[in-house]
A and B are shown apart, each in its own frame.
Chain A
Amino acid sequence: MTKTTLSRRGVLKSGAVAGAGLALPTIFTASSAAAFTNEPTGGTVTLGFNVPQSGPYADEGADELRAFELAVEHLNGEGGGGMMNTFSSKALKGNGIMGKKVQYVTGDTQTKSDAARASAKSMIEKDGAIMISGGSSSGVAVAVQGLCQEAGVIFMAGLTHSNDTTGKDKKANGFRHFFNAYMSAAALAPVLEKLYGTDRQAYHLTADYTWGWTQQESIQAATEAMGWKTVNNVLTPLAQTDFSSYIAPVINSGADVLVLNHYGGNMVNSLTNAVQFGLREKQVNGKNFEIVVPLYSELMAKGAGQNIKGIVGSQNWDWKLEDDGTKAFVKAFGEKYGFPPSQAAQTCYAQTLLYADAVERAGSFNPCAVGEALAGYEFDGLGNGPTLYRADDHQCFKDVLVVRGAENPQDEFHLVEIVEVTPVEQVTYDPEHPMFAGGNLGECNPGA
């Protein structure tokens, strides 16, 4: 990138042309050649929050945005400070990031790779964002992560659960706090064994796109390892709304467990349909028929209503955890917005804090320095217990929750209850695990 400064004469001329009503320039450009993309020069630093605002995940996006706003508030020293008080690192002082006041811009990913990239580009090219965060699907996360790598800014992934984000498609400039499909399966398998035994016939319905496949592959491997058999795996179109024709064949398939590898609207509908067909009351092979939803979210639980009662799944985090970080976050969030945060909100809040903290510790906004500070970093107090940002693939390793739909929720916020907190050792895997192989972090790119 080159910068050209015009002569004073030229400036005055074009200034005059550009319009009389606007104030004439008093200072001619002072910016020097930047060391990296969007180096913050003034008293502020701009972060880009790219969340779905239209389309089926708009509510999730709205919750992410709330968390981002809260994090910015806390970083700038407003509000109570939230998880900054419980965070193991004390580098953040509530005076912005490195003394620069934090500003943010928002955009709409529309849950489409193209739109998400367009929106992220405008944040980088126009608003000078130094970090991009947010998102609610893996396709978007991978696409935006790739963009950030090219542009030379840091990407702090929001909700993305596919193995690929930190596997096949991992990038040096991208970091994921959220857990992934492999971890979901590894956390679920022991609980499923305890609840439903080792002799089970599983029938999978899988959303027919990349995330669905990695989720199904992971859970099939984990359940087969403990003795379950896989009767069938049926791929369902993403655009499907009525799943009756996929549910009906389950009835006489001899399966006694139905695994729904669906997310969002797909999951709400397939679960609702499965319950309509009486699968919950069914007896097969002398056992109660069970339904498993590997990836849960509060919003999906709300959408599925009474149908989620007793159905087991996994979560990255839940507001009902008892640690100090969670309590501080729930208090700050709840007092500001009047309801508890979702796991998407927690991940986005934590990612923002982690980024800010890494900048403080690195002493620079340079993405390479920040990346170095984040890679291999161990921390605690952000709600998930002791956590490691693994250097090999920029994936966070922490405990995973196994949850179940509550039978008698006391209010709309208690729709799921925590069954077990699976310790981190159980969900850790080798960076070269076949489900994650084939990727390459590459070199960090500072752009410019």
Chain B
Amino acid sequence: MLGLNRKDTAILLVVAALAIFAPIILNLFPARSELAFFNAGYPDLMQRFVIFGIFAIGFNILFGLTGYLSFGHAAFLGVGSYAAVWMFKLLNYNVVPAILLSIVVAGLFSVVIGWISLRRSGIYFSILTLAFAEMSYRLAYSVLTPLTNGETGLQVYTDDPQVLMQAGGHIVPHLFGLEMRAREVIDVGPWQFVFPVGYYLCAILMLVSFYISIRIFRSPFGLMLRAIKSNQTRMTYTGLNPKPYTLAAFVISGMYAGLAGGLLASMDPLAGAERMQWTASGEVVIMTILGGAGTLIGPILGAGTIKYLENVFSKMNEGLLHKWFAFLPDWVESPVIWVVSKFTGEGWHLMLGGLFMLVIIALPGGLVEGGQRIMRLFGRKPKAETRTSTEPAE
């Protein structure tokens, strides 16, 4: 289907099904039950899942295929967001020009940074990209405030030009009149499912991005990128110049990041400078590796896991824990809560750090490898995963 082989079609269909039914799958628990705390099926988080999914898919095209570890990809997401919000400020709240411009601007920005950074490889490349991103972040936070609104983040004010804005026009981001924040809420008994418009726009774009990424993985171009990863020197000896290929991969992944940034701004029209900080760049690296670098579906899994932890575990406060563990006798309850509270609420970073270590130690291929092991356990062949072999150090 669509020029994909059977295995890839299956993966695409699985991802599509997951994306379409996410509002149901993620709201597994009835709305008023205690377990509803673990639900993730609300618009903002679902949107973040797919948007960061796009970001990670794009990052994986560069890192997973060529092995070039960029530590500055958040800069492209950041400029994408700024471009989108500027479109809202100058034209109107329609998301189409915003998203298009965010991809273009991020693409141009990545051409410049990629062209310079790709003159070096290995850790030298990583540090170059990191340097560019940190410079962008620091300048956006301070000197470039007229352009970025600094600390507060770029937002739309009522006195902005908005030249295409008609009287009584939409004052929130919309797709030709379809507001991004509109949603259909369906109550099914005690369950409540929310189907947000914004989410589905993101999900469709994510599926398109995912499809393109599969095509890239399976194309001669993708093969060339893998060749760069396995042995660049040999490739050069065969008379091929790797630079145009890596630069193309870099720019493509930069545009993915720009798309993600534009979507972030379209779902919530505020662009903060922190989006470009090195920790944000680190986050996408972590998402990709945690999920499984070089696999198709890994980055999406990684992005989902991290955003889920960030948004759900940070909200577990001690009051909640007391409620949950109230059934235990006091002398058991207190130590249990003491331990659990170290990993939740204000200690959610500990959970995050612990999880990185655990996954990397136990599952060198990331979450995807975990899934494969479970599959094998049930005696089935692992589903269509093409993990490129990892290279040992040096």
Whether B158 is near chain A, meaning CB under 8 Å from some CB there, is yes
B42 CB contacts on chain A under 8 angstroms: 121-122, 125-126
Whether B266 is near chain A, meaning CB under 8 Å from some CB there, is no
Judged by DSSP, the binding face of A is mixed
Closest to A142 in B: B152
Q: Is the CB of A118 within 8 A of B44?
A: yes
Q: Is the CB of A114 within 8 A of B153?
A: yes
B161 vs chain A, min Cβ distance (A): 15
Whether B262 is near chain A, meaning CB under 8 Å from some CB there, is no
B72 CB contacts on chain A under 8 angstroms: none
A164 CB contacts on chain B under 8 angstroms: 152
Could you tell me the distance between the alpha carbons of A107 and B315 in the complex, rounded to whole angstroms? Answer: 5
Within 8 A of A (CB), among B36-78: 39, 42-45, 48
B151 CB contacts on chain A under 8 angstroms: 113, 137-139, 209-211
Could you tell me the distance between the alpha carbons of A142 and B346 in the complex, rounded to whole angstroms? Answer: 23
Q: Is the CB of A1 within 8 A of B185?
A: yes
Encoded as 1 (CB less than 8 Å from any B CB) or 0, chain A from 133 to 163 comes to: 0000111001100110010000000000000
A189 vs chain B, min Cβ distance (A): 25
Encoded as 1 (CB less than 8 Å from any A CB) or 0, chain B from 141 to 172 comes to: 11101000011110100110000000000001
Q: Report the stretch among A10-18, A281-289, A416-424 that lies at the interface.
A: A10-18
A54 CB contacts on chain B under 8 angstroms: 314, 346, 348-349
Judged by DSSP, the binding face of B is mixed
Q: Report the stretch among B97-105, B239-247, B268-276, B374-382 that lies at the interface.
A: B268-276
Whether A53 is near chain B, meaning CB under 8 Å from some CB there, is yes
Q: Give the residue among A31, A137, A150, A211 with the most B Cβ atoms within 10 A.
A: A150
B152 CB contacts on chain A under 8 angstroms: 113, 138-139, 142-143, 164, 169, 210
Q: Is the CB of A25 within 8 A of B188?
A: yes
Interface size class of A (residues with CB under 8 A): 35 or more
Within 8 A of B (CB), among A1-42: 1-6, 10-11, 14-15, 18-19, 22-29, 31
With A1-B183, A113-B152, A125-B44 known as contacts, the answer to whether A11 contacts B311 (CB < 8 A) is: no
Chain A residues within 8 Å of B, Cβ to Cβ? 1-6, 10-11, 14-15, 18-19, 22-29, 31, 53-54, 58, 61-62, 65, 69, 104-108, 112-115, 117-119, 121-122, 125-126, 137-139, 142-143, 146-147, 150, 164, 169, 208-211, 235, 237-239, 440, 442
Chain B residues within 8 Å of A, Cβ to Cβ? 24, 28, 30, 39, 42-45, 48, 138, 141-143, 145, 150-153, 155, 158-159, 172, 181-191, 194, 268, 270, 272, 274-275, 310-311, 314-315, 317, 319, 345-346, 348-349
A-B CB contact pairs (8 Å), 24 listed:
A2-B185, A4-B184, A4-B186, A5-B186, A6-B187, A25-B30, A25-B190, A27-B189, A27-B190, A53-B314, A54-B348, A54-B349, A62-B346, A106-B317, A113-B151, A117-B268, A117-B270, A118-B310, A121-B42, A121-B268, A143-B270, A147-B268, A150-B172, A211-B151
Q: What 19 new A-B contacts, CB under 8 Å, besides A53-B314, A113-B151?
A: A1-B185, A4-B186, A5-B187, A11-B189, A15-B191, A25-B189, A104-B319, A112-B274, A113-B272, A113-B274, A114-B275, A121-B268, A122-B44, A137-B151, A143-B270, A150-B172, A208-B142, A210-B145, A211-B151
